[in-house]
Amino acid sequence: MITAAMVRQQAAACGFALAGIAPVGPYADHSAYLDWVQRGLAGRMGYLTDHRAAKRADVRTLLPEARSVLVVGQLYNPPAPYSTAFTDAERGWISRYAWGPDYHDTLRAGLERLVAGLAIHEPFSYKICVDTAPVLERSLARWAGLGWIGKNTCLINQLQGSWFFLGEVIWSLDLPADAPPPDRCGTCTRCIDACPTAALAPRNGRFELDARLCIAYLNIELKGPVPEELREPMGRQLFGCDICQDVCPWNRRAAALPAFDAEIDPPLERLAALTREQFSALFAGTPVERTRYQGFLRNVCIAMGNAGLPRFRAALERLAASGDTVVEEHARWALARL
């Protein structure tokens, strides 16, 4: 028979630094999530607001015979400076998690290995989830004892900080759930104070994210124009935003891992000159592909406008005549700021 200890051992053997067992539901956090959705704080992220929202109440909506959920955390923390120490105005910043290959495939492959290693002991049915399935990933991770949900709304582990990807295996194995750890944010407010767009705010005794204000939403998820009043606070963040994690004291203890083979702060002039084909080749297989070419050039325009360097004028003038109305409008906005 498969035990929780065997699961943990197998998870470690498959490269997962964190592993725990969560119950199947229903989850008390679900009503807060629905309330967040209903108040429009998810912005235009349809995958969070459509019919899948109801499914997140209980993982048995995805696997009726489920009896528990394995939650794993895979660390990513290349040994490089934090974005809060980044001052070079000629360069833009790409979020830490996106410096390497897209994690969805590698994490899923690790979970497939984990399941195969356990299945030799006992047959069971399962469903692997990595980010895209309708489950409350952070809540599950908290229930599985992996960490608490901090005021920056990230899951934080007391020993490892918050630089990790989450994955789950919903399965028919009836394993005892772990206990959620206590909230260790205390009186700290560093993430709230550091957020450039004031996207984090208290509500009913917990902090929540207004995604519509979050830079990681604006420069990844939002297609089309970025609201003008939010462009300046975006600074030179080209893809995602790490600020509220960079300032978190719990990340001072995070273990450094081998570097990804990628440029973390590419020169803006080079990026502004990328053709569609060069963009695809440069970011193939990385999360940055998600912005698509138009969104990426839009972000480059915003970063150049915020850098304010007169030498960016020629590149921005080219983008202002690129034939893409969204890119052109952002280039004109940036030119007006030089």
Give the integer Cα–Cα distance in Å for 311 and 41.
38
- Mention every residue, 6+ apart, whose C-beta is less than 8 A from residue 191: 150, 151, 152, 200, 243, 244, 245, 247, 248
Residue of 118, 243, 271, 272 that binds ligand SF4 (CB under 6 A):
243
Residue 151 found at the interface with ligand SF4 (CB under 6 A): yes
Q: How far is the CB of 110 from ligand SF4 (least distance, A)?
A: 26
Active site (annotated) includes residue 131: yes
Q: Which residues between 158 and 197 bind ligand SF4 (CB under 6 A)?
A: 185, 188-191, 195, 197
| Candidate list 29, 35, 88, 131, residue with the active-site label | 131
In the complex with ligand SF4, the residue whose CB is nearer, 101 or 196, is 196
Report the alpha-carbon distance of residue 177 to residue 59 in Å, rounded: 14
In 3-state terms the chain splits into helix, strand, coil percentages (rounded to 5) of 45, 15, 40
Separation between Cα atoms, residue 18 and residue 35, nearest integer Å: 30
41 binds ligand SF4 (CB under 6 A): no
Q: Which is nearest to 108 in space by CA: 116, 120, 100?
A: 116
Find the shortest distance in angstroms from Cβ 255 to ligand SF4. 17
Q: How far is the CB of 195 from ligand SF4 (least distance, A)?
A: 3
Q: Minimum CB separation from ligand SF4 for residue 288, in Å?
A: 16
What are the structure tokens assigned to 15, written together?
A: 């490269």
**173 vs 196: CA distance, rounded Å:** 44
- Using the minimum distance from each CB to ligand SF4, give the nearer residue, 117 or 181: 181
CA nearest to 209, candidates 36, 34, 35: 36
Q: Quick one: which of 200, 288, 303, 307 contacts ligand SF4 (CB under 6 A)?
A: 200
> 181, 18 in Cβ contact below 8 A?
no
- Residue 273 CB: number of other CB atoms within 10 A? 13
216 binds ligand SF4 (CB under 6 A): yes
For the record, the structure tokens of 214 come out as 């979050």
Q: Which residue is nearest to ligand SF4 (CB)?
A: 150
Q: Which of 22, 129, 247, 320 binds ligand SF4 (CB under 6 A)?
A: 247
Residue range at the interface with ligand SF4 (CB under 6 A); choices 42-50, 170-178, 212-220, 265-273:
212-220
Interface residue with ligand SF4, options 146, 175, 248, 271 (CB under 6 A): 248
73: amino acid identity, one letter: G
**Residue 215 binds ligand SF4 (CB under 6 A):** yes
Cβ partners under 8 Å of residue 143, min gap 6: 22, 23, 27, 71, 177, 178, 180
Q: Decide: is 241 part of the binding site for ligand SF4 (CB under 6 A).
A: yes
250 binding ligand SF4? (CB under 6 A) = yes
Of residues 26 and 196, the one with the C-beta less far from ligand SF4? 196
Which residues are catalytically annotated? 131
Footprint of ligand SF4 (CB under 6 A): 150-152, 156, 185, 188-191, 195, 197, 199-200, 209, 214-216, 241, 243-244, 247-250
